[in-house]
Structure 1
């Protein structure tokens, strides 16, 4: 355990893992979303800095939504060599990057500023009319990032989806197929707006460090349901729980 983890143990709780989570899951919690974002940003900053030290570059993919906004703000203040960090998105809606529903806009607004203004950002959205048409070009862009990712930060919906891997999506089986050699997949969820482009399950699982960032007691109920179903076609998050990740949660 790193010195940073030891310091964090004093403020957060690393031993309070909920009973239904598998041994492959590491669980960390704090009293509020602000302290959680600070702690998570510090450990991710340490991972990125170590990757830069070892290989000269680091890579990270982040998710959208409201939950990661405090985390993005903390990222922007990290004192690391951001020009040596490659940043992309776990998924994005196929909308104009200036659309308020765009994850690209979210990241540009809250993360790519301050000390992180020099990060090498690689968006998923391109000029193609549809996500399906644009997937090939986006795949080519991601070849500029050395895989596996050093860090992936996931979120999770109440239906157990993560990234844009929705249980209602016709593309789910292809997205979750670990023999799928593509990094990305276009999805059209029936219960959410917009066509999307998302990292595949294989790319997420292959990442060196996968974090699941959650707020609220309802998200714990979703995790419990996922472990009861034990079926990724019903709740895709199950695959990532079984393969191992670190959950960072606050009430």
Structure 2
């Protein structure tokens, strides 16, 4: 079973996620004088990011990276970057940096190669992952995750025909996420908890989020509230 932390309310869940992100960033600042968090998109974590942006951290020494991105312009409502810039605005205004994945010039493979060059040097202190109803995480979708599982790169392009917002995606690979010092999985609702339990039994080919739990020595913490 995963390391599961249960919270009484969704508000408490978001505060806990924010606190853990801030703690990991501060740890990075203390040890390396710079820190990096890789953050997922979607509606679920945005309140946690807004809380994080209010933390008293040395923001000019903090970098935010994306776990994945749709192949859309940063002004598009489907863009994870757009959501992160909105939620993290106070931290960005105080000097934190947000490193985009998407760029406007080129096909997905070319854009992914540029993002890989940017992202490969990052030391990720903490990665916050989510989970979709199909048990995808990042842009690792059932039937379309093998490249993300096998690649030694940090960022690759993937094509998942049923993915919401854009079938073409950019994503951190499993190799990249496993390099993170700490991995958090943020979910809420009874259906998501049941789906995660089922995913761990199904395995990563059918339920890609299970790939996060394959290393018994380095298990993510699951943060959950009903």
Q: TM (normalized to structure 1)?
A: 0.84
How far off is 1:39 after superposition? Answer: 1.5
Instruction: Give the secondary structure class of the aligned counterpart of 2:214.
Output: helix
1:146 matched to 2:122: yes
Specify every segment of 5 or more residues in structure 1 that has no aligned partner in the other structure, as ranges: 1-20
Which residue of the partner structure matches residue 137 of structure 1? 114
How far off is 1:227 after superposition? Answer: 2.2
Which residue of the partner structure matches residue 198 of structure 1? 171
Which residue of the partner structure matches residue 101 of structure 1? 78
Q: Select 1:238's aligned residue among 205, 210, 221.
A: 210
The CA deviation string for residues 62-86 of structure 1, in whole angstroms up to 9 with x for no partner, is 0000101111111110111111011
Bigger CA radius of gyration = 1
How far off is 1:34 after superposition? Answer: 1.3
Instruction: Give the secondary structure class of the aligned counterpart of 2:11.
Output: helix
Q: Select 1:36's aligned residue among 2, 6, 13.
A: 13
Count, aligned residues: 220
Which residue of the partner structure matches residue 32 of structure 2? 55
Which residue of the partner structure matches residue 141 of structure 2? 166
Instruction: Give the secondary structure class of the aligned counterpart of 1:221.
Output: helix
The CA deviation string for residues 192-220 of structure 1, in whole angstroms up to 9 with x for no partner, is 14210000011111211000000111111
Q: Select 1:225's aligned residue among 175, 198, 215.
A: 198
Which residue of the partner structure matches residue 65 of structure 2? 88
Indicate if the aligned counterparts of 2:184 and 2:223 stay in contact, CA closer than 8 A. yes
In 1: Cα distance, 2:141 partner to 2:152 partner: 20
In 2: Cα distance, 1:211 partner to 1:93 partner: 21
Indicate if the aligned counterparts of 1:79 and 1:115 stay in contact, CA closer than 8 A. no
Change (3 A) 1:249 1:159: same
How far off is 1:54 after superposition? Answer: 1.3
Q: TM (normalized to structure 2)?
A: 0.93
